[in-house]
């Protein structure tokens, strides 16, 4: 008797989050975008799926999943709403990773486990006005004072900042040591001296709130340094491949959404008594989109599997993020061309894809810096 093959965990996760996206996110995506504010009600729904703990072990309330499963989840969410996928990815990865890796048991109980349950919102503060890719130029400082650290400076373009309960913040502890003088610190929202600006008015991902942070002699306990002295950037490098392949998965989700809408519209819209999908130039656009999406899929999940095998594929993750984010932008652009003037109407989702795709070009490294990294990893610098 032949055995019925059981679905893999990856197949089950894709099916589950595809259904969640179709039933819960897509019907509300336009509403969330137009509201231009963090949808706490959607955040709470996602929390009930266990999504926020997908990368973490069961010992802290997680699901014990891997990078491939994490990427599948954010890809499916991005197919419905880039905003929802973005704040989910922040909660699952950057906002909580350093707390998980280097936090104390007490911090795990008070902050990490509630964040995994969706009771607290996490954020990650790296970027400054003059320091994005150039981390050596970070000016936010942390100086020791008895049993405390004193934080002063500012951060900008911080995802989830207006609604976050705690932040993982990169600070300079010794400017004479360059990158070895940088460390991450845990700072809670109600700490005196921490100021969160009003949210930015953005082109896209409007349901993900972003703002600036300012620190004026913010005092935190000594144990709030996350990791050993001088190892902040090294610890960041250990998850950088995950950040980049995750951004590739976000890109893949948006590209698929643009493709699906375009293919459907091409068989609905008629001109000259024919579906526009019967015209070769439209067919060419659909074919190019489908081909590049498949290539993005292969790059993304090959790299995710490498990470799950214990490798640190910096080159491959950079390639995946660079290629997939550019593909997402090309697919969004082609979708507007297939829809024609209708894409200029806020009634159709393609205008949202066109706005949201720009978000993908910056997080995890710009295309320009990634090309430099890829070239260097190929031995040409």
Residue 286 within a domain:
yes
Q: How many domains does the chain have?
A: 3
**Is the same domain home to 144 and 241?**
no
Residue 132 lies in a domain: yes
Residue 103 pLDDT exceeds 60:
yes
Residue 4 has pLDDT above 80, yes or no: no
Q: Is 63 exposed, middle or buried (CB count within 10 Å of its CB: 0-12, 13-18, 19+)?
A: buried
255 and 205 co-located in one domain? no
Q: Is residue 158 part of a domain?
A: yes
**Is residue 225, in this structure, part of any structural domain at all?**
yes
Distances (CA, A) of 239 to 106, 200, 236, 295, 371: 24, 27, 6, 23, 19
What's residue 210's pLDDT?
97
Whether the predicted pLDDT of 1 surpasses 70: no
Q: Share the mean pLDDT of the chain.
A: 96
State the CATH number of the domain containing residue 150. Answer: 2.40.110.10
Q: Specify burial of residue 23 (Cβ count, 10 A radius: 0-12, 13-18, 19+).
A: exposed
pLDDT value of position 6 = 80
Domain termination site, one of 211, 230, 249: 230
List, for residues 238-292, the tens digit of each pLDDT value: 999 999 999 999 999 999 999 999 999 999 999 999 999 999 999 999 999 999 9
The predicted structure's pLDDT at residue 3: 72
For residues 136 and 154, state if they share a domain: yes
Report field, pTM of the whole predicted structure over 0.75: yes
Q: Give the burial string for 234-246 (b: 16+ CB within 10 Å, else e).
A: ebbeebbbbbbbb
Residue 338 located in a structural domain: yes
Q: Specify whether 246 is located in the same domain as 351.
A: yes
Same structural domain for residues 105 and 127? no
| Rounded Cα–Cα distance for residues 11 and 8 (Å) | 5
How high is the pLDDT of residue 2?
Answer: 66
pLDDT digits (tens, 9 = 90+) for 134-175: 898 999 999 999 899 999 999 999 999 999 999 999 999 998
Query: Considering the domain boundaries, does residue 4 fall inside one?
Result: no
HSE, side-chain direction, 13 A CA sphere, residue 247: 29
Residues 147 and 31 in one domain: no
Q: Are 221 and 329 in the same domain?
A: no
Residues 52 and 115: beta-carbon distance below 8 Å: yes
Task: Residue 285: give its domain's CATH number.
Answer: 1.20.140.10
In a domain, 2, yes or no: no
- Digit-coded pLDDT (tens) for 338-357: 999 999 999 999 999 999 99
> What is the pLDDT at residue 177?
92
- Quote the domain boundaries for residue 293: 233-377
Residue where a domain stops, chosen among 59, 88, 117 = 117
Last residue of a domain, one of 117, 142, 166: 117
Per-residue confidence (pLDDT) for residue 253, from 0 to 100:
98
Give the pLDDT score at 169.
Answer: 98
Cα 28 to chain centroid distance, Å, stands at 20
């Amino acid at each position: 008797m032949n055995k019925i093959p059981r679905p893999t965990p990856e197949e089950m996760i894709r099916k589950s989050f595809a259904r969640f996206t179709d039933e819960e996110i897509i019907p509300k995506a336009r509403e969330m975008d137009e509201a231009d504010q963090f949808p706490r009600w959607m955040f709470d729904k996602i929390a009930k799926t266990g999504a926020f703990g997908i990368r973490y072990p069961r010992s802290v309330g997680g699901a014990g999943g891997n990078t491939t499963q994490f990427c599948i989840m954010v890809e499916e969410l991005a197919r419905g709403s880039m905003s929802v996928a973005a704040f989910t990815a922040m909660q699952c990865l950057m906002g909580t990773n350093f707390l998980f890796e280097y936090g104390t048991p007490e911090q795990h109980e008070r902050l990490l486990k509630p964040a995994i349950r969706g009771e607290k919102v996490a954020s990650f503060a790296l970027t400054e006005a003059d320091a994005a890719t150039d981390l050596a130029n970070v000016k936010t400082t942390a100086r020791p004072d008895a049993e405390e650290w004193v934080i002063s400076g500012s951060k900008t373009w911080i995802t989830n900042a207006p609604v976050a309960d705690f932040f993982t913040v990169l600070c300079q502890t010794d400017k004479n040591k360059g990158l070895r003088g940088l460390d991450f610190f845990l700072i809670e929202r109600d700490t005196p001296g921490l100021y969160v600006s009003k949210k930015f008015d953005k082109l896209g991902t409007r349901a993900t709130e972003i703002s600036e942070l300012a620190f004026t002699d913010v005092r935190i306990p000594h144990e709030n340094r996350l990791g050993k002295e001088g190892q902040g950037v090294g610890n960041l490098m250990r998850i950088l491949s995950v950040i980049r392949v995750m951004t590739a998965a976000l890109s893949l989700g948006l590209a698929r959404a643009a493709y699906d809408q375009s293919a459907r519209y091409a068989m609905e819209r008629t001109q000259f008594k024919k579906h526009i999908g019967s015209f070769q130039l439209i067919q060419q656009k659909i074919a190019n989109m489908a081909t590049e999406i498949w290539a993005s899929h292969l790059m993304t999940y090959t790299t995710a599997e490498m990470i799950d095998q214990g490798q640190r594929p910096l080159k491959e993750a950079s390639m995946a993020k660079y290629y997939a984010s550019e593909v997402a932008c090309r697919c969004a652009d082609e979708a507007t061309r297939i829809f024609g003037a209708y894409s200029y109407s806020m009634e159709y989702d393609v205008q949202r894809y066109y706005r949201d795709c720009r978000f993908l070009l910056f997080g995890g490294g710009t295309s320009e810096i990634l090309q430099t990294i890829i070239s260097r990893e190929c031995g040409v610098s």
